Amino acid sequence: MAGSFGIVGVLYLLLSFYLVQGRIFGGSQHNQMKRPISPRFKGWSPTEICCPQSMGELPWVVALMDERNHYFGGGSLISADVVLTGAFITKNKTLDQIFVRAGEWSFKITTERYPHVQVGIRKIVRHPAFCVNSGANNVALLFLERPLRLAPHIQTICMPPSNRNFDLRRCIVSGWGKHNTRATRFMKVMKKIEVTVVKNPECQARMQLAHGDNFLLDESLMCAGGELGKDSCTGDGGFPLACPLKEDPERYEQAGIVNWGVGCGQKDIPAVYTSVAKLRGWIDQEIARNQMGYQPKYG
C-alpha cells in the first residue's frame, strides 16, 4: 500500500486537511468541577453532529472571539485567568485580536439568566514544537488580562496527571463549530457530543487506511470518535474533550484539545485531539513562568 500512496495519496491528504481547517487548524485552579445535573445525551441523526447542550452545563468551555467580535474557535478555562486552546487557531493572531468569552451558551440570545463575560488577553504562549503538518504539540495558553469571577456558569476544569490513560472512555466534546461538512455557518447554540476514546495503535491503523502506510500518529496526540454523525467539526478547533472521573462520574477532567480530522462524523474514522496528559509537564511549566501563585491540582 505504501508504494501506491504516491500523488493520489498526497492529494487526498491535502484535501482531508482542507476539509477540517476550522477544526484543527479549523477561583481555584483545576477544582474537579462537578457538571450541573442535566438530561443525558439526546438522540442523533447521521445528518447532524448531535446535540445542543443546556445552558451552563459545561461551564469550563469558552469561545474565542476576534477583534470584530466574530467567533473563530474555543478553549477551556483551566484557571481563573488561564485558557487552554490550540496553537494553530491562534498562530496568526495578535493580543488585540483574541478575546475570551466565558459563560456563553447561545450566540442568538442576549437576555440569558447568567450573562457571559468577555475579557482580553495579555499573553499568548504556543508550544515551540508545534507542527502544522501533523498537528503534533498543537497547544497554546492564553493568559487573561484579569482573572474571571467564577460563577455557576463559569468554572474551571480539572487537569489530568501526566500518566492518565483515557482509552475506551466515553467523553464529551463541545463547541459552536459546524454541525456537518455541508453547513455554511457555525452553530448558534453550543453543541455537545459523546464520543469514545480510541487507543492510539487502533487510531493509527484506521488513519493509515485513509492516508497510507506512512502515516504516523505523533505521541502528543490521541483519538476519539469514529461513530457515524457524532464528531467535532469545522470551527471546533481548540475546544476541550472532557471525561468523567471513574470514581466520581459527575466530575470532569480534560483529556484532549480538538485538533484535526478527516471530514466530520465519518464511520470508523476518529478525530485527532492533542493529549493534555502527554503535555501536562509543558503546561505546568509555562503557567508557573507566567502566572503568580500557580499551584497545579490533579484529578
pLDDT in tens, 235-247: 788 999 999 998 8
Domain count of the chain? 1
AA letter at 241: L
Q: CA–CA separation, 156 vs 296, rounded Å?
A: 12
Q: CA–CA separation, 158 vs 254, rounded Å?
A: 6
Q: Name the helix (H) or strand (E) containing 290.
A: helix 280-290
pLDDT of amino acid 243: 96
pLDDT of amino acid 179: 72
pLDDT of amino acid 178: 76
pLDDT of amino acid 36: 35
CA distances from 117 to 102, 129, 297 (A): 5, 32, 25
List the domain range (segments joined by +) for residue 91: 1-299
Ranges of residues in the chain with a pLDDT under 70 are: 1-55, 180-181, 184, 292-299
Q: What is the CATH number of the domain that holds 109?
A: 2.40.10.10
Note the pTM of the prediction, 2 decimals: 0.81
- What single string gives the DSSP state of each residue in 1-49? -HHHHHHHHHHHHHHHHHHTTTTT----SS--PBPPP--------TTS-
pLDDT of amino acid 40: 21
Give just the sign of the alpha carbon dihedral 206, 207, 210, 211.
negative
C-alpha cell at 116: 457571559
DSSP designation for 222: E
Q: How many helices (H) and strands (E) does the chain have?
A: 3, 13
AA letter at 98: I
What number of other Cβ atoms are within 10 A of residue 43's Cβ?
Answer: 7
pLDDT of amino acid 295: 57
Residue closest to 175 by CA, chosen among 42, 24, 277, 297: 24
pLDDT of amino acid 293: 57
Q: CA–CA separation, 251 vs 133, rounded Å?
A: 34
Cβ contact 255:241 at 8 Å: yes
pLDDT of amino acid 180: 67
pLDDT of amino acid 292: 63
